[in-house]
Structure 1
Amino acid sequence: MVVKDFSAEYLGHRALQNSRPLPIRSTLDSVITGDLIISINSGTVRTMKDVAQALDESPQNDIRFEVLRPSTNSILSFNVKRSSIQTEFLVFLPSHVLVTDVTAGGASDRAGMKIGDLILRINEKEFKTDIEADRILRQDQIGRSLKYEILRNNRFVELNVELAKFGIPISVLIFCLAGALWMCIGGFIIISRPNIIAARLIGSSFLFIGFFMTVLIVRRDFDLTPFIIIRNIIMNGGVIFGVTAMFHSFHYFPLERTDLTNKKWIIPGYYITGIVSALISYFVNSPLPLSLIVFYSIYIYIRYRKGISNEYKRLNRVIKWTSIISGVAAGIISLFFGNALQVIIVGIIGIVLTAIPLSYLFTIGRYRLLDLNFTVRRNTQYSIVTILWGILIFYFLTWSFFKLPLLELPQANIIFTGTAIEITDTPALASEREASEHIMLMVIAIGLMFFVLRVRKVGQQFIDKKYYRQQYDYRRASLELGEILATTLTMEDLARGLVRKLSELMKLKRVGVLFFREEKKCSCLSAYGFDGKIWEEFCIINERELITSIRQFSNEFRIDYLPVPLKDEFLREGFQYGVPIRSKDRLIGVLLVGEKESETTFRQEDLAFLSTTAKQASVAIENAFLYEELAEKERMKHELQIARRIQLDSLPQTTPNIQGLEISGTSIPAMEVGGDFFDYLSNGNGALTVVIGDVSGKGTSAALYMSKVQGILRSLHGFDLSPKELFQRTNKLLCQDLEKRSFVTVLGVEFDPKKHSAIVSRAGHLPLWHFEFKTKTVKKILPRGLGLGLNNASVF
């Protein structure tokens, strides 16, 4: 160690390895007292003899010194003139340990230890290496006092460090918990599917890597007992096997790659590379050779990348990118931020690496791989997230309360008395200033408390919203439901609106509703939250049994109380409760509700709200039934009006103008439509055939048959047939198509003005009345004839 300053030319500096560099505030134009000489002319010096030999063998006048300046955690390079070096400028220090970092608030910091201190003895015990010094520290019991003899700025100082009864850095705890999480996930996968090779490989790799992470930092062994030796072998060998097994698992997970498994040399290559890299790393005392496993895996991936299927890429996408990003992030944090974040770096790396096993769990759960179908219920997720949120708030609040007393408040000349607040120009007394600071700290603490509670409330509300745990307003819900029920008239719209609104208000996974007409028939049903086609068919087929089973319940009931076939189907669709809908003690429907989206149980107020909804719906359902009946009547009336218009339009709209004949005809149905008809059939030779008829029955059926008969007569008249022949052919056609209980009566007359003759043919119709103008007499003409469509006997 340098004990006399001497001038020198500053050349540069570099940070001490594995330490956090500090700003260089000391002089840079000389080597100062307290500097530790590392090398002379690039030659390492360890003893006084090495220094003297290096100075004597240097032929040049300029000598290059590399010195460690403890107060800066930096190695500085100087060019020193031989003439500047003083005699006896150097003393030999015994074995010591350099303090490169002091944890703020720790036991050493409280004792007064600083960066750059040289520890010479611990509890009056000397040591030769840092490992031996660490062993002395760990041998002392927790809770005892340690006596440090240190050298600081060329002065000897004694420090008494009071150790805590128990202590562990948060970052170390996080890293250990991350390793434990790796082990838990690995153990779960192996135990769940021990017969699947992919599960065995993944689980084993997670177990060994997790064990390495858990034990790596918390080791406090100083004697190599058999247990310590076995543990170290498992830890160091396990991490090699774990990484190797993880790369091996990609041959089978997420899908088996036969292009790799068929190559017998690839799998042994993983483990041989792992063993070789571990041996090289052991002999060169460096972890860099372990990267051979990664390079071998990259080589296999590049060589056989064309054999990767699109399905394999899709399933492996999350794991692949999570592993790459986590590995790169952990490396970057270690290399570039390790010195600046030395205290918390381990915890950050642990959190980053935790993403890898979680990505496996996500992939397995999402795509149902390894024959595992595990899902965390929403209520369990809610409990976990709520607890974590509470722990985070509690940790922040506790941390804030410990940091507040260390807060440097502005020196304001404010004095608080019991009756007033005074602001003075002169500085307050120490006691008054202390009282003012205490009051200000209390105000800040109270404000912080309210702020944290507000943040907790907002965060909890957000969590409640995500997991559907909000308390809904029953009054508002009743109003919204009432609006839907009051403005919806049709059965289908009412059913759809009811299930959708109920699902929205109560946050239900599925809702169903059935409407019953006269307690005999399922007239309408609707479901929300699932494809209800099969369920709807089942309800329609079993409607009578369903109505009979639900009729016995007067209030809400569990689906388990239904008969077996109904219970099994409804439970399969996810329904839990049913609420009968009654009107005047008549069962007119039932509400079916499934599980809440929050996956919590139904409370009494939930069931009460469903009962209230059923009572509200009963009125709307009755109105919908009435509306449906009214709409049906209106539809029939409208259709009959159209039929009447069509029927009247099918009758002759104009009267033929035939010389020698005065013709007039009209038809007025007794109902909207009927079977009476008449028609004018002209053959173009001056003769006119007039046909009048009536179809048995009334209403729509008679009108349809009338149109059919009218069409047949018009078609056959084109063959210039007499009335009798016309009826005979028409009868043959009608006997084939007409119902047995229906028939047609027709009366036809062919008028020939040229011959002054009329040919009459009757098919069961009323007689023909003939008025003779000359004699002023009326004669009844009643030829023989049966109605058309009765039989094939053509008696007309």
Structure 2
Amino acid sequence: MLAKYKNKILYRVLIAIVALVLLVFDVSNFAMMLTSKTDENLYTDPPSRFYVTKPIKARLNECYDIKNKDCRIEVGSLIVKVNGKKPSDTTELMELLYNDFKNDSVEIVFADTKNVNKDFSRRGLSNFKIVNVSKKDIPKNFIRYLHSAVFVGYVEKGGTSERAGVKVGDFFIKVNGEEFQNALEANDYILKGDKGSFLRYEILRDNKTFEVKIQIVRFQLSINYLLLFVIGLIYIILGIVLTQSRPEIKAARLLGGAMILIGYYFSSFLIPLRTYGIFQYHIFLLFSLAPALGFALLIHALVYFPRIREDMLKTKWVIATPYIFGLLFFITSILLAFFIRSMILETIILGIIQLYFPIVLIYYYIVLLIFRKNRSKEESSLSGLLNFVFLIILITAIITFILALKGYLFFNVVYVAELFLVLFTLIY
């Protein structure tokens, strides 16, 4: 009895420490957002450095928005591939264009910078087109290699960048007269600058360069972030209550831990990774681990609710599979962080999480279907509300993922689904 009592105390202390650390992170996140700085535009690393300086007559192979088959590669576009290959420098680009003596034309994939996709904040510049170009129509000196550049895909209406003259489709090629390696390095100038001070941006537009001064201003807190932050705090508090009040019940321990981790994930959902400066990849690991482990713990807890399912416990894959899903997601996040050193990383990870959540819920319903014969009528009635709640969350999660792919940030319905989950926890 004494050993069990000591274990309960140790467990409570450990959970309290973890929850306290995450709460400190949450409050720090909120304070960081309130005090963060911005130039009120969004930019990303371009998919290519080969900037077109002269229009090129071309014929479309694939174009989903233009009915006319004749078109041009406009000034400001970026050459991404030639005959299926991505050139590494200007010399290789010219070889790909002219060294195939058997054909009079080449296939070019280019990024259209004049028509930016509306979901730029999530997918970056991804408006690619494929064209055939006759070699005789390729003008001389039509390429400018951008050693230093970021592409501007969004400008806040009435914001400091718009007032300075910045437009969607511009390229920032220097900040304060200095070149930079990527978008993260360019953003460091904002992080290091003072509110109210000005940054000098050298802009490339239609093959002409000019300089503008953009004032650094305070970041405006969005209602989306505020809602997620509050919901995240509710989750963490409920998780603490569960783990501290019922440490002897395994379902409460698992569910409480899941709520704490998922709460941290929700409250950090809209925090830009670049806000953390040199700590961004440390925070990124924690941000990726929270949903990976949290959703697995949630599914694990359901094996013990409303009663212990011995049949599921005897089948090892039932419990192991969610943790394998979580591990694969976490490893994928680490690999992406290692290979993708750009500001689009966070949007890719958020997209994976939006896919990961429905997969876990679908797995939960598959398990229920497989083991449905072993459930009593009493158990079915007790778990009916739980199944209804998760069905709503599954449907809204799938809708959100589909709409996100089309460029619509459909968060409000997900908030409702999350509040249903909070309601379930309170009832439990």
TM-score higher than 0.5 here?
yes
TM-score (norm 2): 0.72
1:68 matched to 2:118? no
CA distance in 2, matches of 1:138, 1:241: 32
Give 5+ residue unaligned stretches, structure 2: 1-50, 117-126, 338-348
With over 3 angstroms needed to count, the CA separation of the structure-2 counterparts of 1:34 and 1:275, relative to structure 1, is: closer
Equivalent position amino acid for 2:391 in 1: I
- In structure 1, give the amino acid aligned to 2:111: L
Question: In the TM superposition, what is the alpha-carbon distance from 1:33 to its structure 2 partner?
Answer: 1.6
1:49-100 Cα distance to aligned partner (Å, 9 max, x none): 2211211333311211121121202322221111111111212122311112
Correspondent of 1:249 among 301, 326, 344: 301
Which residue of the partner structure matches residue 395 of structure 2? 328
User: Which of 104, 113, 116 does residue 169 from structure 2 map onto?
Assistant: 116
Q: Could you tell me how far 1:122 is from its partner in structure 2? A: 2.3
What is the DSSP-based 3-state SS (H/G/I as helix, E as strand, rest coil) of the residue aligned with 2:224?
A: helix
SS of 1:124's partner is coil
Decide whether aligned partners of structure 1 residues 264 and 9 sit closer, same or farther in structure 2, where only a CA change above 3 A counts. closer
For the pair 1:127 / 2:180, whether they are aligned, the reply is: yes
Distance 1:310 1:167, change over 3 A: same
Change beyond 3 A, Cα 1:158–1:347 = farther
* In 2: Cα distance, 1:85 partner to 1:338 partner: 35
Tell me if the contact between 1:67 and 1:76 (Cα under 8 Å) persists in the aligned partners. Answer: yes
Is 1:9 the counterpart of 2:59 in the alignment?
Answer: yes
- Partners in 1 of 2:103 and 2:295 — Cα distance? 54
**Bigger radius of gyration:** 1
C-alpha displacement of 1:243: 0.5
- 3-state SS of 2:143 partner: coil
Counterparts of 1:490-509 in structure 2, within 5 Å, are none
Shift of 1:110: 3.2
Q: CA deviation at 1:297?
A: 4.4
CA contact (8 A) 2:229 2:266 kept: yes
The Cα shift of 1:208 comes to: 0.3
Q: How does 1:149-298 map to 2 (within 5 A)?
A: 149-218=202-271, 219=273, 220-224=275-279, 229=282, 231-263=283-315, 266-283=318-335, 287=352, 297=364
Cα shift at 1:295: 6.6
1:36 maps to 78
Counterpart selection for 1:50 from 85, 92, 114: 92
Check whether the contact 2:54–2:75 (CA below 8 A) recurs between aligned residues. yes
Which whole-Å CA distance do the structure 2 matches of 1:340 and 1:264 have between them?
Answer: 40
Where do residues 563-602 of structure 1 align in structure 2 (5 Å cutoff)?
none
Instruction: Give identity over the alignment, percent.
Output: 23
Helix, strand or coil at the partner of 1:327: helix
Distance 1:32 1:210 in 2: 47
User: Following superposition of structure 1 onto structure 2, how do residues 279-428 of structure 1 map, counting pairs within 5 Å?
Assistant: 279-283=331-335, 287=352, 297=364, 300-337=367-404, 340-341=407-408, 345=409, 347-348=411-412, 351-361=415-425, 364=427, 369=428
Change (3 A) 1:91 1:26: farther
Deviations 1:655-695 (A, max 9, x none): xxxxxxxxxxxxxxxxxxxxxxxxxxxxxxxxxxxxxxxxx
Pick aligned residue for 2:140 from 68, 72, 87: 87
Are the counterparts in 2 of residues 330 and 352 from structure 1 also a CA contact under 8 Å? no
Match in the other structure for 1:600: none
CA contact 2:98–2:135 (8 Å) conserved in 1? no
Q: Normalized against structure 1, the TM-score is what?
A: 0.40
Deviations 1:167-197 (A, max 9, x none): 2222222232332232233223333333322
- The answer on whether the counterparts of 1:119 and 1:148 sit within 8 Å (CA) in structure 2 is yes
CA contact (8 A) 1:36 1:69 kept: yes
Distance 1:176 1:105, change over 3 A: farther
Q: Deviations over 1:750-795 (max 9, x none)?
A: xxxxxxxxxxxxxxxxxxxxxxxxxxxxxxxxxxxxxxxxxxxxxx
1:174–1:350 Cα contact (<8 Å) kept: no
- Cα distance between partner residues in 2 of 1:330 and 1:106: 33
Q: 2: distance between equivalents of 1:27 and 1:33?
A: 19
User: CA contact under 8 A between 1:70 and 1:116: conserved in structure 2?
Assistant: yes
The answer for the alignment partner of 1:144 in structure 2 is: 197
Structure 2 distance, partners of 1:96, 1:279, is: 30
CA displacement, residues 545-603 of structure 1 (integer Å, 9 cap, x when unaligned): xxxxxxxxxxxxxxxxxxxxxxxxxxxxxxxxxxxxxxxxxxxxxxxxxxxxxxxxxxx
In the alignment, the residues of structure 2 paired with residue 146 and residue 319 of structure 1 have an alpha-carbon distance, to the nearest angstrom, of 53
Are the aligned partners of 2:288 and 2:333 in contact in 1 as well (CA < 8 Å)?
no
**More helix per residue: 1 or 2?**
2
Are 1:97 and 1:130, in contact at CA under 8 Å, matched by a contact in 2? yes
| Shift in CA distance, 197/348, structure 1 to aligned 2, threshold 3 Å | same
1:265 Cα offset (Å): 5.9
Q: Which moved more, 1:299-308 or 1:51-60?
A: 299-308
Name the SS for the 1:168 alignment partner: coil
Q: Structure 1 pair 46/66, CA: closer, same or farther in 2 (3 Å)?
A: same
Cα deviations by residue, 1:73-132 (Å, 9 ceiling, x for unpaired): 232222111111111121212231111222323332333322111111223332212222
Highest RCO, 1 vs 2 (Cα 8 Å, sep ≥ 6): 2
CA contact (8 A) 2:60 2:69 kept: no
Distance change (3 Å), C-alpha of 1:54 and 1:356: farther
**1:28/1:199 CA distance change after superposition, 3 Å:** farther
> In structure 2, do the counterparts of structure 1 residues 145 and 180 end up closer, same or farther at CA, with 3 Å as the change threshold?
farther
Q: Structure 1 regions of 5+ residues with no counterpart? A: 15-22, 370-796
Q: Deviations over 1:621-666 (max 9, x none)?
A: xxxxxxxxxxxxxxxxxxxxxxxxxxxxxxxxxxxxxxxxxxxxxx
Aligned residue type for 1:300:
V
User: Which portions of structure 1, spanning 4 or more consecutive aligned residues, are displaced by more than 6 angstroms?
Assistant: 23-27
1:427-442 to 2 correspondence within 5 Å? Answer: none
Amino acid at match of 2:220: G
For residues 198 and 233 of structure 2, the distance between their equivalents in structure 1, rounded to whole angstroms, comes to 32
Task: Give the root-mean-square deviation of aligned CA atoms.
Answer: 3.1
Q: CA deviation at 1:13?
A: 3.0
Q: d(CA) in 2 for partners of 1:25 and 1:35?
A: 20
Distance 1:125 1:339, change over 3 A: farther
**In the alignment, is the contact (CA less than 8 A) between 2:82 and 2:93 conserved in 1?**
yes
1:248 to partner: Cα distance:
0.5
Amino acid corresponding to residue 244 of structure 1 in structure 2:
A
Matches of 1:99 and 1:348, distance apart in 2: 27
Deviation at 1:281, TM superposition (A): 4.8
1:45 match: secondary structure:
coil
Query: How many residues align structurally?
Result: 350
